Amino acid sequence: EPEVTQTPSHQVTQMGQEVILRCVPISNHLYFYWYRQILGQKVEFLVSFYNNEISEKSEIFDDQFSVERPDGSNFTLKIRSTKLEDSAMYFCASSADRGQGGEQYFGPGTRLTVT
């Protein structure tokens, strides 16, 4: 069964450093998402991406964040200058459609630890 994959599974970085989290969505999917989950808290939406552009972003997704689909298969989330509060589990998701039938499939997540 096709699945969303994410690398790395765990990333440790120092405050102020740039990180890139990588995702490979399911191959025929068109809609892509990043969510994050701070330890012990709910899963929060960060950004949605379709047709090579952001369709919506949350308040969390400030100028320090960016997303890219560089080669038609990968979907990346970049944090330019990490802060301690960026420590969280980051989930990538993809869907073939939106609305009915547009269920989102989640990757296993990347745990980001900022020290």
Partner 1 sequence: AQSVTQPDIHITVSEGASLELRCNYSYGATPYLFWYVQSPGQGLQLLLKYFSGDTLVQGIKGFEAEFKRSQSSFNLRKPSVHWSDAAEYFCAVGAMDSSYKLIFGSGTRLLVRP
Residues that bind partner 1 (CB under 8 A): 4, 31, 33, 35, 41-45, 48, 55-56, 91, 93, 95, 98-109
Residue whose CB is less far from partner 1, 90 or 114: 90
Q: Is 95 exposed, middle or buried (0-12, 13-18, 19+ CB in 10 A)?
A: buried
Residue whose CB is less far from partner 1, 45 or 65: 45
Residue whose CB is less far from partner 1, 41 or 52: 41
Least distance from C-beta 6 to partner 1, angstroms? Answer: 8
Least distance from C-beta 16 to partner 1, angstroms? Answer: 28
AA identity, residue 93: A
Per DSSP, the chain holds a count of helices (H) and strands (E) of: 0, 11
Least distance from C-beta 84 to partner 1, angstroms? Answer: 22
The dihedrals phi and psi of 82, each to the nearest 5 degrees, come to -70, 150
CB 112 within 8 A of CB 18: no
